[in-house]
Amino acid sequence: MFKHFINLELKAFFRSASVGKSIGLKILMGFLVVYFLMAFLVLGIALYPLLEKSFPNQKPIVIVNSFVVFWLSAELIIRFFMQSLPVMNIKPLLVLPIKKAKVIHFVLLKSLTSIYNIFPLLVIIPFGIFCILKGNYVTINILFWMLAMYVLVLIVNYANFLIKKKFADNIKTFLGFVILALLLVGLEYFEVFKISTFTGVALDNLVLQPALSLIPILILGGIYFLNFNYLKANFYLDNTLQSKAQEATTTDLSWTKRFGEIAPFLQLDLKLIWRNKRPKTTIWISFIFLAYGLLIYTNPHYKDTPAFFVIVGILMTGIFMLNYGQFIPSWDSNYYGMMMSQNIPLKQYLASKAGLMSVSVVVLAILSSPYVYFGWHILAINMACATYNLGVNIPILLFAGSYNKKRIDLEKSPFMNYQGTGATQWIVGLPLMLFPALIFYGVSKIFNSEIAIIVLAVFGIIGLGMRNFLVNKIAEGYRKRKYETINGFKQQEN
Amino acid sequence: MVQVNQLSKIYNGTTVLKIENLEIPKGQSFGLVGNNGAGKTTFFSLLLDLIQPSTGNIINNNIQVNTSEEWKPFTAAFIDESFLIGYLTPEEYFYFIGDLRGQNKADIDALLSKHEEFFNGEILKNKKYLRDLSKGNQKKVGIIATLIGDPEVVILDEPFANLDPTTVNRLKKIIKELAENPDITVLVSSHDLQHTVEVCDRIVALNKGEIVKDIQTSEETLQELEAFFAV
């Protein structure tokens, strides 16, 4: 049966309208993967000698054990934003004589093939071998320790699965996880209860008592079971178990009328975002990303590389723009044919999208202004980045949209509806962040960073001045590729 | 009103539509019948410029549809549910289409109240999004939406499918009313020969992409068509 599923997936990939773009992204990802594979392998090989040299009084494995919990937390966060969950188009399978359990097992097991599960192995295995060769341990004990480590990684894999689903379903239950995490961080920070010491000691014991590795294995089994149950309960086209057929709320959006001709589209976009889970999560993500600055500005490490602050600034003020903009016009793919046969000036359609993204950039820029606490230049960089986003990045995203042929199914059941929640969405956004950072870097090397900030802002202002002209040009591209787009949007994909 | 010249559509070497010449005069109610894959939806998609013709062109009221967009203001169509916006309520959808067609809220409300019987109390003020309506009710919304803004060309693909018998009769009444208006050209496609004969002045039968019959509706039309489609 699994053979059939794999076969279906391959066909879905290669026969989709956007196969060219997908392959391109895959190749790019391939390079990144190779880079990270090497990096982790080097880390794995160097870790033991390095620790032995730096801390001659302690056993390397003890140090590693006390850091495992940080590693796992970092991994969970990275996976949350980067790892795309396996998806499957279940509708055609629902009435076929296939056991639901089989489909779910397939999906869950498929997630094991994710590259994120390979990276830690490259650290665990070399480090384990070093321990066996040089560490004076019973070989079998270290082997079990390695097994337990890998099982912990897999637990993170499935925990991420579960958390991501909670996040997509209901923001309130997700908040529970956040509060729990903050609580643990707080306890650790104020040294009330050091979870790192606790897990460290537990893992040290595991080295002595290999039988203890049964515990993580049992946890893994448990979390797999939780995932299984969750998916099984949601294995329906509608979502009756969770939200009872949503009652329609009509919101009065007549205030949008003041925006003139783009008002109907603006209303439509607002409803699109508010009434569908997928676009709605982009809003939550935007607010979460506002905290990104805290992570960077407090770190003295980045003090000397202000070009990096540009990336942070673009990301913080433009996160909604990036997440929403790169799926234009796919958000409207369900009814794109209707839009194209209606009396719709494409220019206004695009202007409305641009307006919405512009508002988000302005709002996020205002919300990020308290970072002035870390210095006026931070505020200046962020404002310059916001201007750059408004003037340059928004038109670029709109232009790129005219090549979008991938359908987004807003009405699909929330069962595994995660398109655009993986690493690819960040890669697409990468040039939008790197280019201004490069400009900034270049100009600040030649002159100084004040001039670099001004240059960024000037780029943005020029773009804003040309907005009308650009949108007109871009609309022509949409018109030209209309047939391909309509055809692409007709394809049902995962 | 609609003039078709040397039109063909070829997918990977297979001709799915080939119409040498077809003229639909203003005010006519035009029925398109044919089996599955006969090319009915392809023809309507070409007429709406959703796909590109391989050869030839369609001229809608002196405007060639694949070179200019000026036909859009006076043409309205409902092809399938993909013409609806699932996350809107029916009222919001009507107002949205109204906005695009330069109608104000009062115009739309007047149109909706006129068709209250057709909706059968299942559409308006029900606090449901379009995606939560049944297929039949979605279709009702789509059909009435084509009437917004007094279009001169109304295109309905398979309007009778999925509807209950009562609604089919009410729909026939609506289409007949449209047909009586000399300014409105109605294009309807269907598998159902009898429904089409009842509402259309002229019926064209397609088979494998080509016109095989072109008849003005009369008493004998139904028998003639049934004989043609008989096994």
Query: How far is the CA of A470 from the CAs of A95, A159, A326, A433, in angstroms?
Result: 49, 45, 17, 20
Count of the separate structural domains present in chain A: 2
Cβ separation A486–B50 shorter than 8 A: yes
Is the CB of B86 inside 8 Å of chain A's CB atoms? yes
Could you tell me if A262 and A364 lie in one domain? yes
Is B152 an 8 Å CB contact of chain A? no
A344 touches chain B (CB under 8 A): yes
With a cut of 70, say whether residue A90 has pLDDT above it. Answer: no
Does the beta-carbon distance from B50 to A411 stay under 8 Å?
no
Say which residue the tokens 């140090």 belong to.
A63
Give me the pLDDT at residue A150, please: 92
Q: What is the pLDDT of residue A238?
A: 55
User: Which among B89, B100, B131 has the least Cβ separation from residue A343?
Assistant: B100
Query: Which domain, by its residues, includes A204?
Result: 2-233
Interface residue B148 vs chain A (CB under 8 A): no
Give the gap in angstroms from C-alpha A340 to the nearest C-alpha of chain B: 7
pLDDT at A172 over 60: yes
Strand partners, A294: none
Q: Is B88 on the interface with A (CB under 8 A)?
A: yes
User: Does the distance separating the beta carbons of A343 and B101 come in below 8 Å?
Assistant: yes
- When pLDDT is cut at 50, 70 and 90, the band that residue A414 belongs to is very low
What CATH number did the domain enclosing B148 receive?
Answer: 3.40.50.300
| Host domain of residue B14 | 2-229
Asked, for residue A46, whether it belongs to a domain, the answer is: yes
Which residue numbers in chain B have pLDDT < 70? Answer: none
Q: How far apart (Å, rounded) are the C-alpha atoms in residues A227 and A216? A: 16
CA atoms within 13 A on the CB side of A133: 9
CB-based contact A338 B83, cutoff 8 Å: yes
| Confidence at residue A326, expressed as pLDDT on a 0 to 100 scale | 86
Task: Inspect the interface and report whether the beta carbons of A335 and B91 lie closer than 8 Å.
Answer: no
What would the pLDDT profile of B149-189 be if each residue is shown by its tens digit? 889 999 999 999 889 999 999 999 999 999 899 999 999 99
Closest-CA residue of chain A to B83: A338
Residue A153 has pLDDT above 80, yes or no: yes
Nearest to A327 by CA among A410, A413, A388, A264: A410
pLDDT of residue A490: 81
* Cβ within 8 Å of residue B48, ≥6 positions away: A340, A341, B65, B75, B77, B79, B155
Assess whether A16 and A151 both reside in one domain: yes
Which of these three, A203, A233, A263, is where a domain ends? A233
Q: A301 and A445 in one domain?
A: yes
Closest-CA residue of chain A to B73: A343
Let me know whether A138 and A34 are in one domain. yes
**Region of poorest pLDDT, from A75-84, A136-145, B209-218:** A75-84
Residue A194, in any domain of the structure: yes
Could you tell me if A317 and A432 lie in one domain? yes
Model ipTM? 0.80
Spatial contact of A122 and A37, defined as CB atoms under 8 Å apart? yes
Residue A239 counted as domain residue: no
pLDDT tens figures, A383-411: 999 999 999 999 999 998 888 888 887 76
pLDDT at A203 (0 to 100): 86
Residue A152, H or E segment? helix A139-169
Check CB contact of B51 with chain A, cutoff 8 Å.
Answer: yes
Evaluate whether residue A344 is within a structural domain.
Answer: yes
Contact A275 B127 (CB under 8 A): no
Domain assignment present for A246? no
pLDDT tens-digit map of A202-256: 888 888 888 888 899 999 999 999 989 888 877 766 554 344 455 666 666 777 7
Contact B166, B107 (CB under 8 A): no
> Of A233, A262, A292, which residue sits at a domain end?
A233
B117 lies within 8 A of chain A by CB: no
C-beta separation of B213 from B204 below 8 A: yes
Interface contact A486, partner B, CB < 8 A: yes
Spell out which residues of chain A touch residue B99, defining contact as CB-CB under 8 Å.
Answer: 263-264
Same domain, residue pair A377 and A347: yes
Measured between CB atoms, does B131 come within 8 Å of chain A?
yes
Domain boundary among A175, A201, A233: A233
Does residue B72 sit at the A interface (CB-CB below 8 Å)?
Answer: yes
Output the pLDDT for position A244: 45
Whether A217 maps to a domain, the answer reads yes
Determine whether the interchain pair B85/A486 forms a contact, defined as Cβ–Cβ distance below 8 Å. Answer: no
Residue B12 contacts A, CB cutoff 8 Å? no
Are residues A486 and B75, on separate chains, in Cβ contact within 8 Å?
A: no
- Distance, in Å, from the CA atom of B87 to the CA atom of A332, rounded to the nearest integer, reads 11
Which pLDDT score is estimated for B6?
Answer: 92
Same domain? A195 vs A304: no
Q: How many domains, chain B?
A: 1
Q: In the predicted model, what is the mean pLDDT of chain A?
A: 82
Q: Do A486 and B51 touch (CB under 8 A)?
A: yes
pLDDT at B113: 92
Q: Does B199 touch chain A (CB under 8 A)?
A: no
Contacts of A264 in chain B (CB under 8 A): 96, 99-100
Residue A394, in any domain of the structure:
yes
Cut 0.90: pTM above it: no
Tell which of A271, A343, A352 to mutate to test the B interface (max B CBs under 10 Å). Answer: A343
Verify whether the Cβ–Cβ distance A341 to B50 is below 8 Å.
Answer: yes
Whether residue A296 is contained in a domain is answered as yes
B179: left (phi over 0), alpha (psi -120 to 50) or beta: alpha
Nearest chain A Cα to B93, which residue?
Answer: A268
A137 plus A174 within the same structural domain = yes
Say whether both A216 and A271 belong to one domain: no
